[in-house]
Amino acid sequence: MALDPLAHRVARQTWLDAGHLDPDWRWPRPPMSLSRRLTIGIPIAVIALVVVLVAVFGGFGARTDRVVRVPLGAEMTSGPLVYTFNQAVITAPGKYAYDKVWTVSVRGTVRNTGTDSETPGLSSFATVLVTAPGIDDLIDLYSYKIGTRLNTAYNSGVVTPGLPAVPVTLAFQVPLTWHPTSVVRVIVQTQIYTDVTFLKTGEQGWSPIAAGTEAVVPAVVA
């Protein structure tokens, strides 16, 4: 009687091992599949990347999220720039579509204690912010006037080092849904001179931190 081909194949691959039988022997584990390696490896890689990024940006350092209130007219420093503020003027929305916002113009002085010309910084690079009752977020600086020269987000001006304080007007645009108040809070963000490169190559510059000073400034509607 002919053997079944599959049974014959199994019979040929079966033999008796005359060696000592190990009572602790276990079936070998199957090799890890590619999908399982990815399932385990990707989360580990992501966690490692997050740790590196947090460390690079100082996330494991001491907390500096503090804002100290100062009297009206006191000096407020952001890197080499030193401000004072004494009044805010709120301008009603205009008749044009692009002008449908409240404009808060904070007035004071600014001087430069550094060695290079500096700017207050606009939009996401702003280190002077404003808020008020009824405003949920901090509003970035939109434009500024140093002395008699007008500067907007589309052209620049500088604060020259070594000169006495000069008049400055900082303008902020607030959504139309806001109802003007009698005061606004002006926040000046602290900056430190440090390595400003992502890979920490040693290039030095001014970098803002989560700290600063704030002043409560009286406001009037023009």
Domains, the chain, with CATH or none: 66-221 (2.60.40)
Pick the more confident residue, 141 or 196: 141
Mean pLDDT value of segment 107-126: 91
- pTM (2 d.p.): 0.68
Residue 121: pLDDT band with limits 50, 70, 90: confident
CB count within 10 Å of CB 5 equals: 8
Q: How confident is the model at residue 146 (pLDDT cuts 50, 70, 90)?
A: confident
Asked whether 78 and 189 are in contact (CB, 8 A), the reply is yes
Residue 156 confidence (pLDDT) above 70: no
The residue-averaged pLDDT of 151-163 equals 70
Q: Is residue 17 scored above 70 in pLDDT?
A: no
Checking if the pLDDT of 54 tops 60, the result is no
Average pLDDT of the residues of the chain: 78
pLDDT of residue 93: 85
More confidently predicted of 38 and 175: 175
Q: What is the pLDDT of residue 64?
A: 41
- Environment class of residue 32 by beta-carbon count within 10 Å: exposed (0-12), middle (13-18) or buried (19+)? exposed
